[in-house]
Amino acid sequence: MTRGHLDVIKRGARLFDTLVVAVAINIEKKPLFPTEERIAMLRETVRAEKIDNVEITTFSGMAVDFVREQGSHVLLRGIRTLSDWENEFQMALTNRALDTGIETVFVMASLEYSYISSRLIREVATLGGDISNFVPPAVEKRLRKQYK
């Protein structure tokens, strides 16, 4: 989770009554941190930022099915301006083909986080650089431990 993700969570929490942040469990991909750790980082950060109307959970399977199960029909995605909007559009259109009743809604991350990419953060962390501008404290301390 980067400061860009946090910014999108904040915006989403202002737009909707309840925002469910769901971490995808993907057996094939190997994320840097295990799922429980990722959930913990999200929880710590949301608490530190005093965002009340956010639920943090996991899901496996297809995103559209998860949205349905939550009784919702809106899938919120943050879009960085310097970045993967093309991927986002492909994913949104694939999800629309899978379930036309689910609407993907985009908000723009703050400009100051628009260039932050997980790959570059990881590279900076590996090289011992200062990543406090890029990730919230709950992530920074874990990344530091990981790469020490």
Q: Which residues make up the interface to its own copies (CB under 8 A)?
A: 11, 14-15, 28, 60-62, 73-74, 79, 81-83, 85-86, 89-94, 96-98, 103-108, 111-112, 114-117, 120, 124, 126-130, 133-134
Whether 141 is catalytic is no
CB of 134: closest distance to its own copies in angstroms?
A: 7
**Residue with tokens 């939550």, as numbered in its chain:** 70
Structure tokens, 60: 């496996």
Beta-bridge mates of residue 59: 24
Q: How far apart are CA 2 and CA 134, in angstroms?
A: 6
CB of 58: closest distance to its own copies in angstroms?
A: 14
Q: Do 55 and 21 contact (CB within 8 A), yes or no?
A: yes
Q: How far apart are CA 120 and CA 76, in angstroms?
A: 24
* Closer to its own copies by Cβ: residue 127 or 145: 127
Q: Do 51 and 9 contact (CB within 8 A), yes or no?
A: yes
**Counting beta carbons within 10 angstroms of the beta carbon of residue 45, is it exposed (0 to 12), middle (13 to 18) or buried (19 or more)?**
buried
Q: Which residue is catalytic, options 29, 30, 145, 148?
A: 29
Whether 29 is catalytic is yes
**Residue with tokens 């913990």, as numbered in its chain:** 40
* Closer to its own copies by Cβ: residue 15 or 32: 15
Whether 5 is catalytic is yes
Whether 80 is catalytic is yes
Q: Which residue is catalytic, options 3, 5, 38, 142?
A: 5
CB of 39: closest distance to its own copies in angstroms?
A: 21
CB of 55: closest distance to its own copies in angstroms?
A: 20
User: Which residues form the catalytic set?
Assistant: 5, 29, 80, 118
